[in-house]
Amino acid sequence: VDKLIQRQKLTKEEFIEILKQQDDPDIRELLKEEAIRLRKHYYGTKVFTRGLIEFTNHCKNDCYYCGIRRSNKNAKRFRLSQEDILACCENGYELGFRTFVLQGGEDVWYTDAKLVEIIRRIKTLYPECAVTLSVGEKSYESYKAYKEAGADRYLLRHETADEQHYGVLHPAEMSLANRKQCLYDLKKLGYQVGAGFMVGSPGQSVETLAEDLLFLQELQPQMVGIGPFIPHHDTCFAEKSAGSVEKTLFLLSVIRILLPTVLLPATTALGTMDPQGREKGLLAGANVVMPNLSPLKTRKQYDLYDNKICTGEEAAECRECLDKRIESVGYQLVNERGDAVL
C-alpha cells in the first residue's frame, strides 16, 4: 500500500497483496483518503459530465454477460437515425453537456462512412464539444477514419486482462490479444483512451484483478470505466451473483492512486446496485458521471443488465437529479469538455 501511495511501479504479487486487504477498514480508509486528496489536487471539486447516447443495440458479438448479445432473441433491437442522434446532442448541449459519448453494440449497419458522417456533423455543429466513441473492436484504419473526422476519445473496456478469464466471459471468436491491440492502436492514433472492467464478473479472482491493475499500469489510459457486474436474465450468467459495491469503491480508490489524473466515472451500474452508488463512487475517487441522453422511446431497449436505473427519465430530469445529488456530497457538476489534465 505504501508503494502504491508513493507511486512506485508495482508487481502482480504486490497488487495481489493490496487486493487481499480490501476488507481491512483501516486500509480502505487510507486508500480512500489518498484517492480524494489526489482527485482534489488535480480536479478540485469538479465533476465532469458526459452525455451518453446509446444509439444501437444490434451487436455481432456474443459476450456471455451482456443483455444485447447477438444470441439474445428476446432483445428488441433498435437503431437511432442520424437525425435522432443529432437531436440528442442538441438537447444535451442545451442542458450543458460538452462531451457526447456515442455508444453501441458492434453494429455493421453503421459503416465507417456513416459513423464518419455522424462524427463530422456533431463536430461541425458543436466544435467546442468532445466526441467519445464506444463502438467496440475495429481495425486501425477505421479508428483512423473516426479520428480524422474529429473523434477525441474512445472507450473500450478490456473486460479482463487474464487470458483464461477472458475465455470465461467471451466466446472463442473474441480474444484478449485483439482487445489489447485495439487499445494500443487507439493510443497511437492520439485518442484519449478508456480501458476498464466489470467488478465481480463470473470467474474473477484476486489474481485476475491484479492482472487488470498491472495492465492499467502498463497502458496508462486517460480514462478507466469500472462498475459492478449485474446479471441479465436472458444471458448465460443469469444465475450468477452481482459484483459488490464495496469492492467497486475500493478499486476506484486504488485506480485513482495508480493513475492520479485519470478520468474515472461513477457508473450507472454502481448506481443500479445502490441508490447512493454514484455519490459513494465520487467519494471514493471518481470524477465523472455519464447521464443518459438517449431518447426515452429506446432507452429501455439498451438493456445490458437487469434493473438499470434512469431508463424512464428525460435527459433534463437526469441532469437535474444528478446536479442535486452531486452537490449533496460537496462536488459540482460542470459544463466543460473535461479533458484529462496532463
What residues line the site for ligand FES (CB under 6 A)? 59, 61, 63, 66, 68-69, 105-106
Length of the chain, in residues = 342
305 binds, among ligand SAM, ligand FES, none (CB under 5 to 8 A by kind): ligand SAM
- Cβ 320 vs Cβ 249: under 8 Å: no
| CA 224 – CA 211 distance, rounded (Å) | 15
- Grid cell digits, residue 286: 471518481
Q: How many residues bind ligand SAM (CB under 6 A)?
A: 19
Alpha helices in the chain (DSSP H): 2-5, 12-20, 25-43, 82-94, 112-125, 140-149, 163-169, 176-188, 206-219, 245-258, 268-273, 277-282, 296-299, 315-328
Nearer to ligand SAM, 92 or 228 (CB): 228
230 binds, among ligand FES, ligand SAM, none (CB under 5 to 8 A by kind): ligand SAM
Q: Which of residues 63-122 bind ligand SAM (CB under 6 A)?
A: 65-66, 103, 105-106
d(CA 296, CA 39): 33
- Contact call for residue 198 and ligand SAM (CB under 6 A): yes
Contacts of 191 (CB under 8 A, 6+ apart): 143, 147, 151, 152, 153, 154
What is the nearest approach in angstroms of ligand SAM to the Cβ of residue 94?
A: 26
For residues 120 and 26, give the distance between their C-alpha atoms in angstroms, rounded to a whole number: 50
The binder of 69, among ligand FES, ligand SAM, none, by C-beta within 5 to 8 A per type, is ligand FES
In sequence order, the 6+-apart residues with CB closer than 8 A to the CB of 318 are 291, 292, 310
DSSP 101: E
Specify the stretch interacting with ligand SAM by CB under 6 A; choose among 153-161, 166-174, 273-281, 320-328: 153-161
From ligand SAM, ligand FES, none, interface partner of 269 (C-beta below 5 to 8 A by class): ligand SAM
Report if residue 230 touches ligand SAM, rule: CB under 6 A: yes
- The stretch among 30-38, 88-96, 227-235, 324-332 that binds ligand SAM (CB under 6 A) is 227-235
Q: Select from 170, 180, 232, 280 the one that contacts ligand SAM (CB under 6 A).
A: 232
The reply on whether position 179 binds ligand SAM by CB under 6 A is: no
For residue 122, give the C-alpha cell. 456533431
Near ligand SAM by CB under 6 A: residue from 133, 209, 293, 304: 304
Write out the residues near ligand SAM by the rule CB under 6 A: 65-66, 103, 105-106, 134-136, 156-157, 159, 198, 227, 229-230, 232, 269, 304-305
